[in-house]
Amino acid sequence: MRLRNLTLCIITVATILGMFLSCQSQEELDMRNYLSNGRSLYEVKCRNCHGEQGEGLGELAPPLTDSLSLKKKKKQLSCIIKNGLEGEIQVHGKVYNEKMPAFTELTDMEVAQLIVYITNSFGNSQGHYPYNRVTEDLKNCPSSAQL
């Protein structure tokens, strides 16, 4: 009888604890998924210009290591990736004036995976960015790709 109570108690506690833990790590789990898909997408679509380590390419493509710049533009990243970017920008205090092509073929989910990857690699760590935020952000893209 005592033993049965104890077992029941342990099971109950473990279940509650398990639920709590799994709740907590659902976002982490999502983020891990986004990260690994984002990395594959980055290698195919972005690495040629922005480099293996996000180092950029001379003045032809900016590095993606400027956390401040990425943070400031967080809500615009979806539009930049989907619609491309041209005109003068500053990254790490250096001026870039080139053209990034549009990646219109990407789904909102893929854009989100890319954002999570670049904002959590190359010395950045800005956490998760679920795809519904991308859907939201894309409603407010500037008509030209300029910022």
Partner 1 sequence: MRFSNLFFAMMVLFACAACRQPGKLPIYGPRDVAPGQTDTVYKTIPPFSFLNQDSVPLTQDAFKGKVYVADFFFTSCSSICPVMHRNMKTLYDAYKGNPDVLFLSHTIDEKYDKPSRLKKYAQKLGVDEKQWQFVWGPKKDVYSIAEKDYLVAVQEDSTARDGFVHQGWLVLIDPDKRIRGAYDGTLPEQTGKLKKDIATLLAEYKK
Smallest gap from Cβ 3 to ligand HEC, in A, equals: 58
Could you tell me the CA-to-CA distances from 10 to 2, 3, 24, 51, 91 in Å, in that order? 12, 10, 21, 52, 55
Applying CB under 6 A, does 100 fall inside the site for ligand HEC?
A: yes
Q: What single letter denotes the amino acid at residue 40?
A: S
Instruction: Give the CA angle between residues 88, 93, 95 to the nearest 5°.
Output: 25
Out of partner 1, ligand HEC, none, which partner does residue 128 contact, by CB within 5 to 8 A per kind? none
Task: Please report, as residue ranges, which positions from 47 to 66 form the binding site for partner 1 (by CB under 8 A).
Answer: 47-49, 51, 57-61
Q: How many residues bind ligand HEC (CB under 6 A)?
A: 29
Applying CB under 6 A, does 138 fall inside the site for ligand HEC?
A: no
Applying CB under 6 A, does 89 fall inside the site for ligand HEC?
A: yes
Task: Please report, as residue ranges, which positions from 19 to 78 form the binding site for ligand HEC (by CB under 6 A).
Answer: 45-46, 48-50, 61-62, 64, 66, 69-70, 73, 77
| Tokens 């033993």 sit on residue | 3
Q: Which residues bind partner 1 (CB under 8 A)?
A: 47-49, 51, 57-61, 98-99, 101
Q: Which residues bind ligand HEC (CB under 6 A)?
A: 45-46, 48-50, 61-62, 64, 66, 69-70, 73, 77, 80-81, 85-87, 89, 91, 96-101, 103, 114, 118
